[in-house]
Structure 1
Amino acid sequence: MSNELIINSTQEGERIALLQDKRLIEYHFDRNDTNYSVGDIFLGTVKKVMPGLNAAFIDIGYEKDAFLHYGDLGEQFPSLSKWVRGVQSQKTSVAALKTFGLEKPLDKVGKVADTLKKSQQVLVQIVKEPISTKGPRLSTDISMAGRYLVLVPFSNTISVSKKIVSKTERERLKRLIASIKPDNFGVIIRTVAEGREVAELDRDMQSMVGKWEQLFQALRIAKERDKVLGELGRTSSMLRDMLNESFDAITVDTTARYEEIRGYLEQIAPDKLGLLKHYTGKVKVFEHLGIEKQLKTLFGKTVTVPGGGYLVIEHTEALHVIDVNSGNKSNQESDQEATALMVNMLAAKEVARQLRLRDMGGIIVVDFIDMKSGESRKKVEDVVYQIMKHDKARFTILPITKFGLLQITRQRVRPAEKIVTGEVCPTCGGTGKISASIQVTDEIDNSIEDLLVTQNQSGITLHVHPFLHAYYTKGLVSRQMKWYLKYYKWIKVTKDTSLGLTDYRIEDEHGEEIELHSAAAAMARLQDREIEIEITD
């Protein structure tokens, strides 16, 4: 199984596509104007304390106040508050916590009104980006993620990812980290650290300690609502979290981004530099690799399931609903139960892929085709789980009900990705009206005669819809040949799929446009004329 990361730079930001065996499984758009990303650390101000919610609203500069629940304060909040006060008052002169006296851990079942006061300044980290009408969600349990480790200040605990199952390896990693970690810093050992040597782990540790030093220096001069430390961009964070032995290529289409990623890879994985490629082709990289076509077909309301059937995906404020339909596969099995199982098994794979691809979070309800057998329902559940277990987001899957409904909750961290798959009709421009198609050949003939006879043009090129191209160029004595015999001038005819059936464009010998007929433009001119008449009247 191969993985490829494709990065397309645009004026608005970076389009990032993760391909698995050439199929799109993740898509992100990292906008340039995103100032409130997951992992960013701000110096916020308490605006409201809500005892009924046991939470507070924090001003970090976003148009809506961010939400901080008491449960997200973390046990180290008293120590963090003491350290922040010391840094801002210049009493704390070094970033290291070796001589820092830790406070008593925060009570897990306490009240927010006893901990936070209005106008109090708090150091917070974004854990969920603004979604819909909601502001960011925050935590004061500050952490800094590296490739192999996560650094947690004001703690001395060393934790190991549950996905590392070998007891011997878990103990080895704990011993290594205990020997290199700074005092009063806890560490979470990530899954990718399995089998790594101490030199690699120490390099990652020093990188995160360097970030803590940056935060310390920024906090000394920070004012309320300032971003104290920014998280990596979406591209770099994906490389940090996902880069492994199965990666085959990282393709970038701009020199600036290529150099940036090259520098980042030199820091975190010098052995992976050979995977980085700079695409310089004339065709856009997403178009060249077929990603653009996949985006248009995978983000619509209706999605075809490979092998048979289709999905209808609806989004509401409260939840996402996915309906499974059999399509033309309803007669391929011996009985109804077998047909339902076959379609549902295929659909289950696509459902799991769509959740990750669109980054859908919250509650998802999937309406599978009814199955009477409990064994069949269990098979479909297992397929969904097997595909989703590779997803980084946390999720929960409930058993399929008797009504064929599968309920899933998936961690909602960022807004779901949306791609516009509808397009304005190139023929009518969205007006719903076109000129009579039977007249178009007469209009073209009149235009050609006017250009060749009246204006004495030569070397002209006619661009038309593929259907009209065949009409003018096919046959023993084509219409194109009849023009030549009539005017003794050759007219080049080319097909253009972007033109509507009744549209055409004529260019001179230098490639400059000399006539354009567009139904949309004609309709716009007609509407302008109607407005002009109304104003005159």
Structure 2
Amino acid sequence: MTSEVIIDAQPKEISIALLEDKRLVEYQREPREASFSVGNIYVAKVKKLMPGLNACFVDVGYERDAFLHYLDLGGQFNSYAKYLKQVQSDRKRLYPIQKASRLPDLQKDGTVQNTLQVGQEVMVQIVKEPISTKGPRLTGEISFAGRFLVLIPFGHKVSVSSKIRSGEERARLKQLIQSITPKNFGVIVRTVAEGKRVAELDAEMKVLLNRWNEAIQRVQKTQERPQLIFEETGRAVAMLRDLFNPTYENIYVNDEEICTAVRHYVSLIAPEKAGIVKRYTGKVPIFDNFDVTKQIKSSFGKTVNYGHGCYLIIEHTEAMHVVDVNSGNRTKEKAQEQNALDTNLGAADELARQLRLRDMGGIIVVDFIDMNLAEDRQMLYERMCKNMQKDRARHNILPLSKFGLMQITRQRVRPAMDVDVDENCPTCFGTGKIRSSILFTDQLERKIDRLVNKVGVRKFYLHVHPYVAAYINKGLVSLKRKWQMKYGTGVHVIPSQKLGFLQYEFYDARQQFIDMKEQNDKS
């Protein structure tokens, strides 16, 4: 299996697609101005205690206060609280953590009102983004995640991933990490560290220590609260950190700045793979070029087809996600039981992909087509378990119930990805009134004339629906050629699959969006 990452950086948002054998399996999208909040570390004040829940609410600057349960404070909360006061007591000289005294662990049967006070400052990390009406979820157990290691301030042991089976390798890694870990730090050794040399692990240890030092220096120098003292890396780099593996053949980026950041990160974690990061310079939109746009439009929405007329219906509710499997117009000449099995096995393949693609979390209930044979039900369960092995999120799958339902729980860290694949009417744009479509090219020419002769933009790219682009480019003396003769050779027409039939977008030579919409467009 080969994997490719496609990163589409637009002026307002960044989208990342992971392809496995050219098939879209993961998709992330976030606004440019938004930060990837999971992993961010704050020094913030306790706003309200909730003794009934044994928890508190903390103001970290979000619209809704963040939730922190007593059991999430962490065993070393007292050590953190004391060290925080020591750091803030001297604004000139930083008190090193290696000299900090470790206090007894927090009692697990304690209460929040005996531990915290309203207005008290705490150092917390976001572990779950705001979802629906809920604010972020916090923890007091701070950690800095790297490719091979996870550094835990005030930790007291070195743990090795249970997925590393070899006892000899586990012992080697534990002994090696213990020899390079500073005092008052703990470390978790990740699975990908298996077989790595001491130089690679030591280099990452220094990077993670530097992140901690920079974070604590921000605490020392400023008094504003809440204060973001460590910001998780951008979505592109953060996704690569968790996903990167040797099967990656290419990472394509259409933005120079992000391409440089990704190449720098890959050169740190896998120097031999730095060459796979490539800057995409094609004129066609990057997602169109790699067939991502079409897969997004066909993979999201309420109904998802997966072959031979079969389809899934996916509904999202506040409490759970519900999936119904339908055989549709499948007419293969097989016994009913065999048809049901084939339909269900195909649904299991597509559902495993959909869970990763949409990042669906919480409880998922799947209504498969009823099967009478116990061995068929067991085969379906095993197929689902096998398909979910590629999923990084923690999950649990139960065998089919007597009603033919499969229950799945999947770790929920952020809201489920939902892409609206429905488009406004391509002729009236939702207004209910249309103008003659034969005049559309005249409207575009007026825009070009204004752009060239009034705004002064000589080189630009006009993105239109592929059918419209074909019409503009047809013939020896095409409409595009006429525009170039009249307004200069800087006129470029680009087909874009994401646009509706009579939609258009202008971009300058640096691929920056130019807003050419006017009130008189409606007249």
TM-score category (smaller protein): 0.7 to 0.9
CA distance in 2, matches of 1:39, 1:179: 27
Which residue number in structure 2 is paired with residue 107 of structure 1? 107
Q: Per-residue deviation at 1:104? A: 0.3
Say if 2:318 is the partner of 1:326.
no
Which residue number in structure 2 is paired with residue 363 of structure 1? 363
Matches within 5 A, 1:121-132: 121-132=121-132
Which residue number in structure 2 is paired with residue 225 of structure 1? 226
Q: Which has the larger radius of gyration?
A: 1
Q: Per-residue deviation at 1:96? A: 4.0
Which residue number in structure 2 is paired with residue 274 of structure 1? 275
Matches within 5 A, 1:86-97: 86-90=86-90, 93-94=93-94, 96-97=96-97
| 1:149-191 Cα deviation digits (max 9, x unpaired) | 0001112211111111111111111011011111111000001
Please tell me the residue identity of whatever aligns with 1:425.
Answer: C
Q: Per-residue deviation at 1:99? A: 2.2
| 1:246-268 Cα deviation digits (max 9, x unpaired) | 11111111111112222222333
Q: Per-residue deviation at 1:335? A: 2.0
SS at match of 1:327: coil
Please tell me the residue identity of whatever aligns with 2:335.
Answer: D
CA distance in 2, matches of 1:352, 1:499: 31
Q: Per-residue deviation at 1:109? A: 2.2
Q: Is the 8 A contact 1:45 1:120 kept in 2?
A: yes
Q: Per-residue deviation at 1:97? A: 2.7
Q: Is the 8 A contact 1:25 1:357 kept in 2?
A: yes
Which residue number in structure 2 is paired with residue 299 of structure 1? 300
CA distance in 2, matches of 1:200, 1:85: 35
Please tell me the residue identity of whatever aligns with 1:265.
Answer: V
CA distance in 2, matches of 1:415, 1:93: 42
Which residue number in structure 1 is paired with residue 488 of structure 2? none
Q: Is the 8 A contact 1:51 1:112 kept in 2?
A: yes
Q: Per-residue deviation at 1:78? A: 0.9
SS at match of 2:97: coil
| 1:19-69 Cα deviation digits (max 9, x unpaired) | 100001100113222246100001111111101111100001111100001
| 1:342-397 Cα deviation digits (max 9, x unpaired) | 10001011111101100111111111111122222222122221121221111111
Q: Per-residue deviation at 1:269? A: 2.3
Which residue number in structure 2 is paired with residue 417 of structure 1? 417
CA distance in 2, matches of 1:92, 1:161: 40
Please tell me the residue identity of whatever aligns with 1:391.
Answer: D
CA distance in 1, matches of 2:113, 2:335: 63
Please tell me the residue identity of whatever aligns with 2:64.
Answer: K
Which residue number in structure 2 is paired with residue 509 of structure 1? none
CA distance in 1, matches of 2:500, 2:292: 23
Which residue number in structure 2 is paired with residue 213 of structure 1? 213
Which residue number in structure 2 is paired with residue 486 of structure 1? none
Please tell me the residue identity of whatever aligns with 2:287.
Answer: F
CA distance in 2, matches of 1:369, 1:432: 41
Q: Is the 8 A contact 2:149 2:193 kept in 1?
A: yes
Which residue number in structure 2 is paired with residue 175 of structure 1? 175
TM-score by length of 1: 0.80
CA distance in 1, matches of 2:432, 2:206: 63
SS at match of 1:425: coil
CA distance in 2, matches of 1:53, 1:275: 50
Q: Is the 8 A contact 1:311 1:324 kept in 2?
A: yes
Matches within 5 A, 1:83-482: 83-90=83-90, 93-94=93-94, 96-222=96-222, 223-329=224-330, 331-332=331-332, 334-431=334-431
Q: Aligned in 2, Cα 1:389/1:324: closer, same or farther, shift over 3 Å?
A: same
Q: Is the 8 A contact 2:315 2:323 kept in 1?
A: yes
| 1:283-329 Cα deviation digits (max 9, x unpaired) | 11101111011111111111011455100111111111111101122
Please tell me the residue identity of whatever aligns with 2:389.
Answer: K
Which residue number in structure 1 is paired with residue 489 of structure 2? none
CA distance in 1, matches of 2:465, 2:235: 43
| 1:482-511 Cα deviation digits (max 9, x unpaired) | xxxxxxxxxxxxxx99887xx999xxxxxx
Q: Is the 8 A contact 2:36 2:234 kept in 1?
A: no
CA distance in 2, matches of 1:225, 1:288: 44
Q: Is the 8 A contact 1:307 1:346 kept in 2?
A: no
| 1:200-249 Cα deviation digits (max 9, x unpaired) | 01011010001111011111023211101111111111222222211111
Q: Aligned in 2, Cα 1:133/1:16: closer, same or farther, shift over 3 Å?
A: same
Q: Per-residue deviation at 1:414? A: 0.9
Which residue number in structure 1 is paired with residue 47 of structure 2? 47
CA distance in 2, matches of 1:65, 1:148: 33
Q: Is the 8 A contact 1:30 1:233 kept in 2?
A: no
Q: Is the 8 A contact 1:308 1:343 kept in 2?
A: no
| 1:452-471 Cα deviation digits (max 9, x unpaired) | xxxxxxxxxxx99979x99x
SS at match of 2:6: strand
CA distance in 2, matches of 1:352, 1:432: 40
SS at match of 2:37: coil
| Superposed CA RMSD | 3.0
* Number of residue pairs the alignment of both structures matches: 462
Please tell me the residue identity of whatever aligns with 1:217.
Answer: Q
Q: Is the 8 A contact 1:83 1:92 kept in 2?
A: no
Q: Is the 8 A contact 1:161 1:189 kept in 2?
A: yes
Q: Per-residue deviation at 1:199? A: 0.6
Identity of aligned residues (%): 50
CA distance in 1, matches of 2:465, 2:72: 62
SS at match of 1:202: helix
SS at match of 1:113: coil
CA distance in 1, matches of 2:71, 2:197: 36
CA distance in 1, matches of 2:465, 2:251: 39
